[in-house]
Amino acid sequence: MDQQQKTEVEAAAFRRLLKHLDDNKDVQNIDLMILANFCRNCLGKWYHSAAEELGVAMTAEQAREAIYSMPYAQWKEHYQKPATPEQLAALDARSS
């Protein structure tokens, strides 16, 4: 596999990950953080950082929107649930 093919495969896999997350909006960011130590917000930060490294002008909000497929505020309003005490405890235990 040459570098161009590798980049294309990585991009396709990333698009599939984003679609999977978009298709599973019931999976809360806190649950992702507990299980995998990253969430949609982390992906948004990584996306923004990668754009900056490549000299692509992009705001943090634009990067987040690329991950969420909508403005973050809208996603939070429609899909984010308040964290339960159990989720907060599990996240705290992971962080400790």
95: CB partners within 8 A, 6+ apart: none
CA separation for the pair 50, 52 (Å, rounded): 5
pLDDT for the residue numbered 7? 95
Q: How confident is the model at residue 31 (pLDDT cuts 50, 70, 90)?
A: very high
For the cut 90, the answer to whether the pLDDT of residue 73 exceeds it is yes
Domain 3-95 class in CATH: mainly alpha
The domain limits of the chain are 3-95
For range 30-53, the mean pLDDT: 97
For the cut 90, the answer to whether the pLDDT of residue 9 exceeds it is yes
Average model confidence (pLDDT) for the chain? 96
Residues listed for the chain? 96
pLDDT for the residue numbered 96? 80
